[in-house]
Structure 1
Amino acid sequence: MSLIHVITVTTTPRRSSCQIYHNTPALVFSAGGYTGNIFHDFNDGIIPLFITIETLFNGRDVTLVVANFTDWWYSKYEILLSQLTSHRVINLHNQTATHCFPSAAVGLVSHGPMTVDPTLLPSRKTFLDFRALLGAAYDNCHVPPPPPLKGIPRLVFVSRAGPTGRVILNQDDVVRAAEEVGFDVVVFRPNKFTWLCDAYKLIDGSHAVFGVHGAAMTHALFLRPGAVFVQVVPLGNEWLAETYFKKVAVEGMKFEYLEYKVRAAESSLVEKYGKDGAMIVEAREIASKNWTALDTVYLKGQDVRLDVERIRVYLRIAYLKARRFMEENG
C-alpha cells in the first residue's frame, strides 16, 4: 500500500474550473500493488473492476481513471478494458488539465478471493457472466489457435520455472504420461509479457488444464465452463489452492475439478527437513499460521517430483472427462 498514490477528490460549482468535462461518472482506481502477477491482476484488479461497475453503476458506462498507470499494464489489458468502458482510459498522472465528472467512485469493490457473488449484485450476474466478458474481449482476436488433433482432447500443461518454486522436476515424464493416456499435450510457459490473445485462443480451444498451484493457473479462466481443471497441490499449499482456485473452479466456472495432493516423498522439502520433520508432518498447520514459512518454504522453497504412476491415474480420469466434454462441446 505504501506504493499506492493517495487520491484527493474535490467538489466544485458546475464548470467553474473544469477544462475537460465528462458526461459519464468516473471510477478511480489504482493499477499498482501486486500487478504484474496475473493472479493479482485479476483477483485484485479486473474482477473487482467488473464487480464495481455492476454494483455502483448498474453496468452503465463509466470513464476509468487510473492511478499508478503503466504502459505495460494498459497494453496487456487494453482489449479487456474496452469491454468495460467505451471511453478513453485516463492516466491520472500524465494529466495537466482539470477533469470534471458528474460523480465519482474511488476504489474497487471485492466479494472475496476470485469471487463474484450474485447475491451482492443488482444484476445478479455470476462468475460465468465475467467469463462471458472475457469471451467478448478475446473471441475476435486475430490469432489462430494451435490446430487440434482430430478426435483427441487437448490438455494445456502449465509449466513453471524457477526461482519462485513449485517446479515439476520430472515434467517430461508427466507430459509423456498425459500423452500415453490419450491427450494432445501443449506445454504452456506464460510470463509477464504473454499476450492474452495467444493464451485465450490456446486455452479456450482446449479441453483441460493441468498445473501446480500458482499464479499462472489463473489462465484457466480462459477454459470453457465444463472443461477439466487439474490442480497439483504441494505441501502447505492446501488453503491457498482451495481458496483461490478450487472454489472458483467448482462454484464459479463449473469445471470438472481434480486435485492431486503431493505426498511428502514427492516434495523436495524432504531432502532438507526429513520425512518425519515438523515442516513436513505439520505442513498444513504451519503454513496456515506462519506467512513467512508459507512464502519462503512452501511456496518459493519447494519443488515437486510427481509419482508418475499415481499421477497417471488422475490423468486417465481427466482424459475421460475431457473426452466427454469434447464430444458434447467440440
Structure 2
Amino acid sequence: MKKQNLTTVSICFVFFVFFFMFQSKYVSLVSNSKVSRSTIIDQGKKDLVSKSTKNWVLDHHSPPPLHSPRGRLITCDRSHQYYDLCSINGPTVLDPATSTFFLQGPSTMTFPSMFKEKIRPYPRKFENFVMKGIKELTITSAPQRPKCEIQHNVPALVFSAAKLVIGGLTSLISHGFMNIDPALIPNSRTFIHFRAFLEKAYGSHGQIHPSKNNSPLVRPRLVLVSRRDSLGRVINNEAKAKLVLEKIGFDVIVFEPNPGTPLNEAYAIINSSHAMVGVHGAALTHSLFLRPGSVFVQVVPLGLDWVAQVCFAKSARAMRLEYMEYKIKAEESSLVEKYNKNDLLIKDPVAFRGKNWSEDIMNIYLKEQNVNFDLVRFGEYFKQVYKKAKQFMDKER
C-alpha cells in the first residue's frame, strides 16, 4: 500500500472500541491493550438502564440490553461523577480527519435509526474549564462511513494521554484523584501492588540501592523538587532553603523534572532517596517512586489544603510513606504582596472559596501564588523531617 497522510486514511478495528478518559488534551490510540468486555461498572441496574438505554443501537435479533452484554453494539454510560464511558462492540472505522468512529456492521444488518454520540475522553467531566480543552470524539452508526484503508484485528482503547510528568494510574475507570479503590478492582489491588509494579518496570536499570552500596551513606538523601520554570508555586528563596537543609544534615539533590525527563532516571533518583519535599503540583506525582518508609513532605500553599489532601496525601499514606505537610503561613505567600493581609482570600481561603472552585479562584492560589520560606520556621520544621529520614536510613544498614 502506498504511504498515505494520516488525515486521509481511515482505520477500522475489529471487536470493540472503548472510549476512556485519562489526563490530557491529546487523544492516543492504544491498539495492543487487552480490554475486558465487562466495561460498565454496576451502579445499580435500574439507574444504569434509565441513563443509558436510549444510547443503545441493536440489530433486530439482539436481546434486551441487560440480558446479554455481548448483544450490545454501542453503549454509553454517563452515570459516573468523573467520567463517561462508551464502547463499540463490533467492527468500527475511524476517520482521523473528523475524529469520528463509525460502526461497521455486516451488510445484512440494519439499524432501527441512526445513532450519534459525542464524548470527551477525560476523567474530569465536572470541571468545565478543563473539559473545554479536551478533544471531542464522535461515535455514530451513520451509513455514510469512509472506506477502511488499514485493518487492525485487535481491540482498541481510546483515551486522553497524561500531560503530567508521569502518569498516576492506568485503568479503564477513574477511582478519583490519585486513588486506587480496591473495591473497584476484581483482584483487590492496592497502591502497594502498584508500587511493586513500578519497581518491576523501572527498578532494573542498574541503579544502586542505598542499602546495597559498599559506601554506606552518612547523611540522609533528600530530593528537593523545583518549580523554577513553572507558572506559580515557585520557591523564591530555593537556594537559601537548600543551604538550610544541608546545614541540618541532608544530602540535597535538586530535581527539576520536565516532560522529557526519562522515567527510569527519575525513578533512580527518587527511589534512592530517604526524603522528598516539594510544593504542591503535578511533579509530586513522582512521590510514587518513593520507597515505603521514606519521608514525603508536601509544601501546601494558601488555599490548597483540600486539593493537597485528595491529590497526594491519600496516596502517600496508602503507599506507607511517612507523610508530612509544611503549611505556608500568610507571610510566606507572595499573595500578601498583591492582596490585603486582612482580606478573606488570605485570612480564610476556605470561606473565600466556599463550594466554588472556579477557574478564577484556582488561578489565584495555583498560578498567582509563589512561596518565600520563613527560613527559621522552615529549619525548625525540617529538623523533624531529618530525624525521621535518618531513622529510615539507619534501618537499611
**Same-fold call, TM cutoff 0.5:** yes
User: After superposition, where does 1:4-43 map in structure 2 within 5 Å?
Assistant: 4=135, 6=137, 8=139, 26=155, 28-32=157-161, 35-38=162-165
Given candidates 307, 310, 313, the residue that maps to 2:374 is: 307
Contiguous gaps of at least 5 residues in structure 1: 11-16, 40-45, 50-106
Deviations 1:13-64 (A, max 9, x none): xxxx998675xx73513134xx32236xxxxxx5542xxxxxxxxxxxxxxx
1:113 has 2:177 as partner: yes
Given candidates 285, 294, 297, the residue that maps to 2:364 is: 297
* More moved, 141-150 vs 218-227: 141-150
Partner Cα separation in structure 2 for residue 303 and residue 149 of structure 1: 37
SS at match of 1:273: coil
Deviations 1:95-142 (A, max 9, x none): xxxxxxxxxxxx821111111112222211111111111111101124
Partner Cα separation in structure 2 for residue 212 and residue 19 of structure 1: 47
The equivalent residue for 1:246 is: 313
Given candidates 253, 272, 277, the residue that maps to 1:205 is: 272
Deviations 1:203-251 (A, max 9, x none): 000000001111111111100011100111000111111110111111x
- Seen in structure 2, the aligned counterparts of structure 1 residues 179 and 120 have a Cα distance that, compared at 3 Å, is same
Partner Cα separation in structure 1 for residue 217 and residue 159 of structure 2: 45
SS at match of 1:230: strand
The equivalent residue for 2:322 is: 256
Given candidates 299, 303, 309, the residue that maps to 1:232 is: 299
What percentage of residue pairs aligned between the two structures are identical? Answer: 41
Cα deviation for residue 282 of structure 1 reads: 2.4
**CA contact under 8 A between 2:169 and 2:178: conserved in structure 1?**
no
User: After superposition, where does 1:1-330 map in structure 2 within 5 Å?
Assistant: 3-4=134-135, 6=137, 8=139, 26=155, 28-32=157-161, 35-38=162-165, 46-49=167-170, 108-142=172-206, 150-250=217-317, 252-287=318-353, 289-329=356-396
**CA contact under 8 A between 1:145 and 1:198: conserved in structure 2?**
no
RMSD of the TM alignment (CA)?
2.7
Letter in 2 for 1:192: P
The equivalent residue for 2:83 is: none
Cα deviation for residue 329 of structure 1 reads: 2.9
Partner Cα separation in structure 2 for residue 142 and residue 275 of structure 1: 51
Letter in 2 for 1:193: G
Cα deviation for residue 277 of structure 1 reads: 1.5
Letter in 2 for 1:284: V
Cα deviation for residue 312 of structure 1 reads: 1.1
SS at match of 1:38: coil
Cα deviation for residue 193 of structure 1 reads: 1.0
- Seen in structure 2, the aligned counterparts of structure 1 residues 5 and 26 have a Cα distance that, compared at 3 Å, is farther
- Seen in structure 2, the aligned counterparts of structure 1 residues 206 and 2 have a Cα distance that, compared at 3 Å, is closer
- Seen in structure 2, the aligned counterparts of structure 1 residues 229 and 277 have a Cα distance that, compared at 3 Å, is same
Moved over 6 A (4+): 144-149
Letter in 2 for 1:188: F
Deviations 1:163-217 (A, max 9, x none): 4101111111211111111110000011111111110000000000001111111
Partner Cα separation in structure 1 for residue 215 and residue 221 of structure 2: 7
Cα deviation for residue 4 of structure 1 reads: 3.2
SS at match of 1:232: strand
SS at match of 2:233: coil
Letter in 1 for 2:325: E
**CA contact under 8 A between 1:236 and 1:294: conserved in structure 2?**
no
- Seen in structure 2, the aligned counterparts of structure 1 residues 258 and 28 have a Cα distance that, compared at 3 Å, is same
Structure with greater strand percent: 2
- Seen in structure 2, the aligned counterparts of structure 1 residues 232 and 196 have a Cα distance that, compared at 3 Å, is same
Count of residue pairs brought into register by the alignment: 256
TM-score by length of 1: 0.70
Contiguous gaps of at least 5 residues in structure 2: 1-131, 142-147
**CA contact under 8 A between 1:48 and 1:108: conserved in structure 2?**
no
The equivalent residue for 1:52 is: none
Partner Cα separation in structure 1 for residue 216 and residue 227 of structure 2: 25
SS at match of 1:244: helix
